[in-house]
Amino acid sequence: MTIKEMRMRTGLTQAEFSRRLGIPARTLQDWERGIRQCPQYVANLMVYYLKNEGFFQESKDLVISPIGKVKIADEIAKLSLRSEKTKAGTPYIWETVYKMPDGTNGLIRWEAQRIVFQPLDDFKTNAEGIRTIPNHQCRALTRKEYQAIPFLCSDEKKALPEIL
């Protein structure tokens, strides 16, 4: 989770977030823009503080939960540094699958400066059985939904079962 995603999830502005955590506003801006890198131990402390303050708790009426992971072979996978390749040479990445409150399963991704939900059924599969190009029947997430997305560390993502 980036610093910007962390701040957006709290629903605070940059000024409020920096005041709340005692971080100079300019430093926060530099971290969000990628001009400077936030030390990992500081990011971990921020997450710990925000969880204890109740910013990352799930809403009782809105539960979004990770249920597994799938292979996605698209343009993002070709450009990603964390991509893997099939025996046939197709680059793919693992994406977390979330179950939404309405019971649909899908991916939560960044698309054109906004966060969207793409149903898993929306993706076509290639000859190797890997999901590829979505039909773009996605919808933007509400702020409340965005705040309810559970934070997963890399170890938790690895432990998720594969969905075929």
pTM: 0.58
Q: What is the pLDDT of residues 20-48, one digit of tens each?
A: 899 999 999 999 988 999 999 998 899 88
User: Rg of the chain's alpha carbons, rounded to an integer?
Assistant: 17
CA–CA separation, 139 and 150 (whole Å): 19
What pLDDT score does 148 carry? 79
Domains of the chain: residue spans and CATH: 3-52 (1.10.260.40), 65-159 (no CATH)
The pLDDT-based confidence of 9 (bands split at 50, 70, 90) is confident
In the chain, how long is the greatest CA-to-CA distance? 52
- Helix (H), strand (E) counts: the chain: 7, 8
What pLDDT score does 27 carry? 94
| Residue 58, number of CB atoms within 10 A of its CB | 13
- State the chain's mean pLDDT as an integer: 83
The pLDDT-based confidence of 53 (bands split at 50, 70, 90) is confident
- DSSP reduced 3-state for 61: coil
Contact status, residue 97 vs residue 64, Cβ threshold 8 Å? no
> Mean pLDDT over residues 77-95, rounded?
86
Q: What is the pLDDT of residues 110-154, one digit of tens each?
A: 777 778 888 888 888 888 888 887 777 788 887 778 777 877 777
Contact status, residue 134 vs residue 95, Cβ threshold 8 Å? no
